[in-house]
Amino acid sequence: MGDTFLFAANAVLPIVFLMALGYFLKRINFLDKPFLLMGNKLVFRVLLPVMLFLNVYQIEDLGSIDFSFVLYSEVALLVIFLLAVLFTVPYKNKPGTRGVLIQAMFRSNFALIGLSLASSLFGAEGSQAASLLSAFFVPSLNVLAVITLTIFTDNEEMGKPDAKKILLGIVKNPLIIGVVCGLAAQLIRRLFASIGFNFRLSDITPLFSTLKSLSACATPIALVVLGGRFEFSAVGKRIKPLVLGTVLRCIVVPVLALSFAFFVMKNTSGAHFAAYVAAFSTPVAVSSAIMAGEMGGDDVLAGQLVVFTSVVSIFTMFAAIALLRLAGVF
């Protein structure tokens, strides 16, 4: 049990420490507001898309996907999204807050924490299962996030949402573009291989090294910027939605998603369960706060939810992993 707790803490505490660093640097006036705003744009529009591109491109075998495994995650995600819309009805008069809460419930930190978490839980098989799932799950998370933040926003400049605006938001979303480009590069690589030309992006060493460097920057810069934008003085004003969002993300979602997977998906392997834990038990995605700021949501609340769910998830992920180990899954 001690090892399980340490594992969960090791997965989440670096996130908390980097956000704390960003907050400290802002407090000593090393980081100012204009820098943090530009950092937000850099992460959302460049660094995270490159990271997602490489994550998808480096999947070795998309053809080995167990589609029942992927289908469960997609159906569970959609059900969670619909439940989130219902749970947040009390905030119907505060659309910016409601949109952030809905996003917090369904949008896990799968890209930044989930892949390494699955690897730690079930080794290379867990890592492969999570990487395969990411090709489908990450775009779905971002499509739902665009829909949510387009419909529920406090930004009057965005106007009344309609299908065209939502579709345009999906097509122009940098994170979705990153995943789609990764899939396209995968397809091109396979087409070359089919005609006997075994070419990989890594063969262009300067380009590939640049992409890897940008990808490596994504997580630490995103967390430092997010910490710099955090305001403790705003917590009291948002305590009710903050508690609700944290409970939904860290307790309700993992219980629902993992319980149904355990009792309904009878033939689910340990590797697939490792991917499900990564998808449904991790804290709110760091990019959710960045996207909320870009699309007119309550980015202050969104940032607070990242911080608080990251801390609380140390204990809830430990509980989920421990229970699944007792049940013989891992």
* Upper half-sphere CA count for residue 76 (Cβ side, 13 Å): 27
pLDDT on residue 307: 83
User: 46 Cβ partners below 8 Å, 6+ apart?
Assistant: 174, 214
In the CATH scheme, what is the code of domain 2-326?
Answer: 1.20.1530.20
Distance CA 91, CA 279 (A): 26
User: The tokens of 224 are what?
Assistant: 């430092």
Segment among 35-49, 58-72, 97-111, 149-163 with least mean pLDDT: 149-163
pLDDT on residue 162: 66
Categorize the per-residue pLDDT at 210 as very low, low, confident or very high, splitting at 50, 70 and 90: very high
At residue 310, does pLDDT exceed 60? yes
Distance CA 151, CA 170 (A): 13
User: The tokens of 30 are what?
Assistant: 């090393």
pLDDT on residue 258: 93
| In the block, residue with structure tokens 């060493």 | 205
Distance CA 108, CA 280 (A): 6
Distance CA 113, CA 233 (A): 28
